[in-house]
Amino acid sequence: MNALQLVGGDLFAQLRPELRELALRGVLRSYPKKTVVINEGDKGESLFVLLKGSVRVFSGNGDGREITYGRIYSGDYFGEMSLDGGPRSASVITLEPCTCAVLSGAEVRAHLAAEPEFSANLLVRVIGRARAATEAARNMALLDVYGRLVALLEAHDGLTVLTTDAGVTLESITHQEIASRVGASREMVSRLLKDLERGGYIEMATKRITLVKKLPSHW
């Protein structure tokens, strides 16, 4: 057991073996809730293995408008899209207190050289996130707000999901976050959700939405 394992304790135990070996090359850093860990457009090659907590990945403009790409939870990593030395493609903010193992680009490349099988893991992750970004762009261009809302609720992408006898429940999700995911106002999202609730398709509680039955394709 090395010094980082002694400090990190159980934080490393919950990682997949291939990700644990990567994380052990990094430096432990802790971030309070609502800390911007990565700023869109900044230069940087650091990769972050999330050991504790969750983060939100988003883009914004000078007018305060944002679009959320998704959440990342402990046991995963982020920041890999800038390993080519290019600018950061999105911002990342903590949703709760977080602990990360932070690696430089050189450390990641050294790990890939020592553990070439991890290259496949990294490639799959990059392809998956590129595919998700393409799907999001497609939905923005081709679907109306209701269509984008249905796509998000049914895909559960980046959401906390609990399956019960009542149906599929999406937890820790607010109307504002949904609005930033589908590129609409919070008021419009709230109105559509209320309509679906009145129609018996969903049930809502504080930061929780339960999908009771198949959502209609049009509204």
Domain ranges of the chain: 3-140, 144-211
Most confident of 110-124, 158-172, 193-207: 193-207
* Model pLDDT for residues 66-78, shown as the tens digit of each residue: 888 888 999 999 9
Q: Would the CATH topology of 3-140 be identical to that of 144-211?
A: no
Taking the domain 3-140, which CATH number applies?
Answer: 2.60.120.10
How confident is the model at residue 112, as a pLDDT?
Answer: 92
CATH class name, domain 144-211: mainly alpha
Q: Average pLDDT in the 168-196 region?
A: 92
135 confidence band (pLDDT: 50, 70, 90): confident
How confident is the model at residue 100, as a pLDDT?
Answer: 97
CA 120 to chain centre: 21
How confident is the model at residue 46, as a pLDDT?
Answer: 94
Average pLDDT of every residue of the chain: 89
The angle at the Cα of 201, spanning 177 to 72, to the nearest 5 degrees, equals 30
0.85 cut: is pTM over it?
no
